[in-house]
Amino acid sequence: MNKVKFIYNPYSGENTIISNIDKVIMIHQKYGYEIVPFRISFEFDIKKAFEDIDETYKYILIAGGDGTVDNVVNCMKRLNIDMPIAILPVGTANDFAKFIGMPQNIKKACQQIVNSVPKKLDLGKVNDKYFINVASTGLFTDVSQKTDVNLKNTMGKLAYYVKGLEQLPNLRKIKVKVKSENAIFDGDMYLMLIFNGQMAGNFKFAYKAQIQDGLLDVIIIKAGMIKDIISLFIKMLRGDHLEDTSGLIYFKSNKIEVYCDEDIVTDIDGERGPDFPLVIECIKGGIEVLGLKDEIKL
């Protein structure tokens, strides 16, 4: 029987996966797969999940949010494990899973996965770390890192927005230098987002992003008047197109260099990212993923 390594985060979202484990096993068993589970916890390094990986395993099934997927993918890359992944979106933030068309219903998601073929998708890389959805720096970028797990489980996505509002009084200009073959920015900004996917916080900001074009979508919000920034954020949250928008730069690139001397953090898929300077690249076809919906534009 073919095996599937099932790595699940019991703390993700509202602990949804705990009451759905039998469905995961049942559907995979029906299709001839043996589920081999690994429970993520603080007691065991995630690399232990891969100690028994061999040719009998067909893919890695990950149950969690973007941060969980990010941690698993980074571990796989460190261990040189080249195997398809599939995602059950049960976290607080499931932006990448939504981008590739994964349903939140566990049964439907499992059926979509077992009836699909792997697709080679792009993967982001910042220095020596990988990201599947978005890397960021500036205002709000450490919100997910600072948001209490219990608060996230109780309030869901609202917890991120509450924590983000707390940061508004600390709004300050950040001096950065950004270099790429398509754009150069040397000045003050509030926020920079580098997308491999399209969404952050359930909002589709990088509406031009494609998952197999070998390019990252970069959005820089330049520092300016507070009233103009609020207006810009409202436009972004509404999903309006951002071409020729004052105070914002939007471009695509396969490689970006970012320099900053200020004491600010970076974030990759809700986890702490590397320190500056940053070399951010798109690894074309860097990961194989199961479960993509047929209508997803590749």
259, part of any domain: yes
Task: Read off the pLDDT of each residue in 275-279 and give the average, rounded to a whole number.
Answer: 97
Can you name the residues that pair with 121 across neighbouring β-strands? 287
Q: What gap in Å lies between CA 205 and CA 215, rounded to an integer? A: 15
Q: What is the pLDDT of residue 166?
A: 52
Is-contact 207 240, C-beta < 8 A? no
295, part of any domain: no
Q: What gap in Å lies between CA 298 and CA 99, rounded to an integer? A: 11
- For 237, the enclosing helix (H) or strand (E) is helix 226-238
Task: Read off the pLDDT of each residue in 126-134 and give the average, rounded to a whole number.
Answer: 97
**Contacting residues for 229 by C-beta, under 8 A, at least 6 apart:** 171, 190, 221, 247
Domains held by the chain: number: 2
Q: Crossing angle, helix 21-30 and helix 106-114, to 10 degrees?
A: 30
297, part of any domain: no
255, part of any domain: yes
Backbone angles phi, psi at 183, to 5 degrees: -160, 150
Condensed to tens digits (0 to 9), the pLDDT of residues 42-64 reads 999 999 999 999 999 999 999 99
Judged against a pLDDT cut of 80, whether residue 155 lies above it is answered with no
Task: Read off the pLDDT of each residue in 155-173 and give the average, rounded to a whole number.
Answer: 51
Tell whether 79 and 136 lie within a shared domain. Answer: no
Is-contact 267 99, C-beta < 8 A? no
Q: What is the CATH number of the domain that holds 202?
A: 2.60.200.40
Task: Read off the pLDDT of each residue in 206-213 and give the average, rounded to a whole number.
Answer: 92
Condensed to tens digits (0 to 9), the pLDDT of residues 185-205 reads 999 998 899 999 999 888 888
Q: How far apart are the first and last CA of the chain?
A: 32
Number of H helices, E strands in the chain: 8, 17
Tell whether 57 and 170 lie within a shared domain. Answer: no
**What is the Rg, in whole angstroms, of the alpha carbon atoms belonging to the chain?**
19
- What one-letter code names the amino acid at 175? K
Around Cβ 68, how many Cβ atoms within 10 Å? 28
DSSP structure class, residue 55: T
Tell whether 85 and 188 lie within a shared domain. Answer: no
- For 72, the enclosing helix (H) or strand (E) is helix 66-78
Q: What gap in Å lies between CA 250 and CA 268, rounded to an integer? A: 19
DSSP structure class, residue 20: G
DSSP E strands in 127-246: the ranges are 129-131, 134-138, 174-180, 184-195, 199-200, 203-204, 216-222
Tell whether 99 and 211 lie within a shared domain. Answer: no
Tell whether 151 and 279 lie within a shared domain. Answer: yes
Task: Read off the pLDDT of each residue in 209-220 and give the average, rounded to a whole number.
Answer: 95
> How far, in whole angstroms, is CA 3 from its chain's centroid?
26
Q: What is the pLDDT of residue 145?
A: 46
> How far, in whole angstroms, is CA 9 from its chain's centroid?
15
90, part of any domain: yes
Tell whether 262 and 204 lie within a shared domain. Answer: yes
DSSP structure class, residue 13: T
Can you name the residues that pair with 204 across neighbouring β-strands? 199
Q: What gap in Å lies between CA 214 and CA 74, rounded to an integer? A: 19
Is-contact 281 125, C-beta < 8 A? yes
Tell whether 82 and 146 lie within a shared domain. Answer: no
3-state DSSP assignment of residue 151 = helix
Judged against a pLDDT cut of 60, whether residue 125 lies above it is answered with yes
Q: Which of 101, 123, 145 is the last residue of a domain?
A: 123
Paired tokens of 31: 């299709």
Q: Residue 16's domain spans which residues?
A: 2-123
Q: What's the pTM value of the predicted model, to 2 decimals?
A: 0.87
Q: Which of 123, 152, 184 is the last residue of a domain?
A: 123
Is-contact 230 253, C-beta < 8 A? no
3-state DSSP assignment of residue 91 = coil
Tell whether 60 and 119 lie within a shared domain. Answer: yes
Condensed to tens digits (0 to 9), the pLDDT of residues 250-275 reads 999 999 999 999 888 899 998 899 99
Residue 133: pLDDT band (50, 70, 90) is: very high
Is-contact 38 10, C-beta < 8 A? no
Q: What is the pLDDT of residue 41?
A: 94
